Structure 1
Amino acid sequence: MRTRLKNELDTRLSTRLIKGVYAITPERSALWTPDAIVDCVAAALDGGVRLFQCRQKNWHQAELIELVGQLDALCEKYDAALILNDVPSEEFAKFEGGAVAGVHLGKTDEAILKARSSLGSKWVVGASCYNQFEMAEQAVRDGASYVAFGAMYPSATKPNAVRAELDLFGKARSLGVPVVAIGGITIERVPELMKAGAHAVAVVNGLFGMEPNAEQVCSVAQQWVEAVNGCHQ
């Protein structure tokens, strides 16, 4: 009974949060400084995006936690959710009560079982499952509250990523958790992904694939939100 209740809590939380446009922060570079990232996340929030993932590889942990703190405060103002990538589950206690909603894990990150054991049922645990339905099944058994498939299309962010097929979303209905599409997604491709069964579409370059410009990011964010909302009308 306790396990079933925990799973129901996980599913309700992820279903409420993991939907629509799922914006992933651009990697830090000479142009995309931490300040630029924060400014453009603020612009995307102004444009209507309500789900973000902070994905920054190879940062010093203290730097990353500082950035997360800034994004957390921003997202909280807009009642948006923030998912963390590459942040160990033991760090999550310091963000309790804010916008941070959970963690996203890839195959080289912390094990799903360990993260779920550490975090309990009040945090979302997402899992990258690439093009493998069996991996998604195992992830859900291990405690994942949503899964992501991709790359759906050729991706500039990960040019060597494996390609996933649309029929994965139909199969994933049996998993009972939200499913995210990622990789090479453009606004024009949103309808076919939502029709196939994706609950959320992850976007990096489609939103942040330009020089940092808050006004432009806000405008493009509005277009993404309208495209997703149009699929539910």
Structure 2
Amino acid sequence: MPEQDAPQIYLITPTEIDLGSFPDTLARVLDRVEVACLRLALASHDEDVLVRAADAVREVAHQRDIATVIDTHVVLAERLGLDGVHLSGSRGVRAARKTLGNDAIVGCHCGQSSHDGMSAGEAGADYVAFGPVVETGLGDGAVAERDLFQWWSEMIEVPVVAEGGLTVEKVAELAPFTDFFGIGPEIWREDDPAAALERLRAAMG
């Protein structure tokens, strides 16, 4: 198996953002650390909130040639000219691909299920995310283990994302088997998100 390039960063926004301050915070992070893609991952289902947030983060990201995807909302991704959508589970991948076209990014989170991940790949997903990678106290406590990432990297060509509860130690452990690290809550709760991201980046090798 050829030696894998160092993983890239897939940055995830907070679930709530202050549009008065977050775009500047995001810009500082993106100017300090190279990021491959940005995911807008708001908890809100209010369309106006989502539209205003999408406009704000897309402007910051696109100024730096960074693709921007949105959680769940295929219709908004299309309407707002975003680069794609991030789904939960493989079920909606085929429909999203049909709606957004072949050039869009369509990815999905598949928990700890290699079967769901393979189904997503077969349906046309550009990447599959597994996680959390450590117990977070949320959900059912299930964890995506190192063996899953190692198996996937050896057997499946679809890029894989590790996300959920990442630490410097866990990043270093998974780096040989992961194409992207989905990083979000790990840095936004820190006083200096860019410095926190730099620490995680350094662990990727």
What range is the shorter-chain TM-score in?
0.7 to 0.9
Pairwise CA distance, 1:35: 2.7
Q: Which residue of 1 aligns with 2:152?
A: 172
Output the CA distance in 1 between the equivalents of 2:200 and 2:105. Answer: 24
Change (3 A) 1:143 1:89: farther
Give matches, 1:1-233, under 5 Å. 19-28=7-16, 32-50=17-35, 51-89=37-75, 91-95=77-81, 100-107=82-89, 111-155=92-136, 158=138, 160-173=140-153, 174-195=155-176, 197-210=177-190, 213=191, 216-228=192-204, 231=205
- The code of the aligned residue for 1:131 comes to Q
- The code of the aligned residue for 2:93 comes to I
Secondary structure of the equivalent of 2:14?
Answer: coil
Gaps of 5+ in 1: 1-18
Output the CA distance in 2 between the equivalents of 1:147 and 1:141. Answer: 11
Pairwise CA distance, 1:137: 0.7
Secondary structure of the equivalent of 2:182?
Answer: strand
Pairwise CA distance, 1:82: 1.5
Identity rate, percent? 24
- The code of the aligned residue for 1:177 comes to V
Output the CA distance in 2 between the equivalents of 1:89 and 1:168. Answer: 32
Larger proportion of helix: 1
Output the CA distance in 2 between the equivalents of 1:81 and 1:162. Answer: 30
Q: Could you list the per-position Cα deviations for residues 133-163 of structure 1 after superposition, in whole angstroms to 9, with x for gaps in the alignment?
A: 000111111111100111110226x464521
Compute the RMSD of aligned alpha carbons.
Answer: 2.1
Q: Is the 8 A contact 1:22 1:49 kept in 2?
A: no
**4+ residue runs of structure 1 moved beyond 4 angstroms?**
none
Q: Which residue of 2 aligns with 1:8?
A: none
Change (3 A) 1:82 1:90: closer
Output the CA distance in 2 between the equivalents of 1:91 and 1:79. Answer: 17
Output the CA distance in 1 between the equivalents of 2:114 and 2:122. Answer: 13
Output the CA distance in 2 between the equivalents of 1:224 and 1:43. Answer: 16
Output the CA distance in 2 between the equivalents of 1:39 and 1:127. Answer: 28
Gaps of 5+ in 2: 1-6
How many residues of Structure 1 are paired with residues of Structure 2 in the alignment? Answer: 197
Secondary structure of the equivalent of 1:52?
Answer: strand
Q: Which residue of 1 aligns with 2:4?
A: none
Q: TM-score, normalised by structure 1?
A: 0.76
- The code of the aligned residue for 1:61 comes to E
Q: TM-score, normalised by structure 2?
A: 0.86
- The code of the aligned residue for 2:187 comes to L
